[in-house]
Amino acid sequence: MLIVAALASATAAPAVEANWQVLGTTHNSVAFLDRRSMTGPGSQVVRVIRVSGQPQKDRWRSSDQHIRVDCAAGVMGDEGSTIEGADGKKVSYGPTPARQPKPSRGIFLQLFNAVCDGKDGPLVSDPHSWTAANFKVGM
């Protein structure tokens, strides 16, 4: 009996960790920060996923972005992204040289605060499922 119990626990699926911090919503999507991509508070490149709350209407399901956050300079920039269409097709884009100043509001301000100040927020394990269950248009 003990051997059967040990085998059952050894083959059980590992628990899914909640590594995605909810940054906030836009009019049509929810943004999440991959906490595993962070090296601690301070300037770095992090991974952010935006999930559409209405993929058929928007014609995209998700955007997987790598964003450089420079805390000292107060700027952010796109280091490359992959857009998944509502049909499941993915298109990747390389980094751009453009930099934007620290936003004054919205999801990118929340991102800046999470990266530079270590501001925590709610954590979820699956951004797509969380969005499907919680997103309301115009949140």
Using one digit for the tens of pLDDT, what is the confidence trace for 74-121? Answer: 999 999 999 999 999 999 999 999 899 998 999 999 999 999 988 889
Torsion over CA of 26, 94, 91 and 35, rounded to 10 degrees?
A: -50
According to the model, what pLDDT value does residue 6 have?
43
pTM of the model: 0.83
Where residue 107 sits, what CATH number does that domain have? 2.40.128
Rounded alpha-carbon distances, angstroms, from residue 44 to 9, 37, 89: 39, 9, 29
Q: Is residue 5 part of a domain?
A: no
Extract the tokens encoding 91.
Answer: 């298109």
Q: What is the pLDDT of residues 46-59, one digit of tens each?
A: 999 999 999 999 99
Q: Where does residue 54 fall: left (phi above 0), alpha (psi -120 to 50 degrees), or beta otherwise? A: beta
Q: Is residue 139 part of a domain?
A: no
Q: Is residue 52 part of a domain?
A: yes
DSSP letter string, 61-123: EEEEEEEEEETTTTEEEEEEEEEEETTS-EEEE---S-EEEPPSSSHHHHHHHHHHH-----E
Q: Is residue 53 part of a domain?
A: yes
Residue 16 has pLDDT above 70, yes or no: no
Q: Is residue 28 part of a domain?
A: yes
Q: Is residue 112 part of a domain?
A: yes
According to the model, what pLDDT value does residue 12 have?
52
Q: Which domain range does residue 77 map to?
A: 15-134
Count of domains in the chain? 1
Q: Is residue 3 part of a domain?
A: no
Q: Is residue 10 part of a domain?
A: no
According to the model, what pLDDT value does residue 83 have?
97
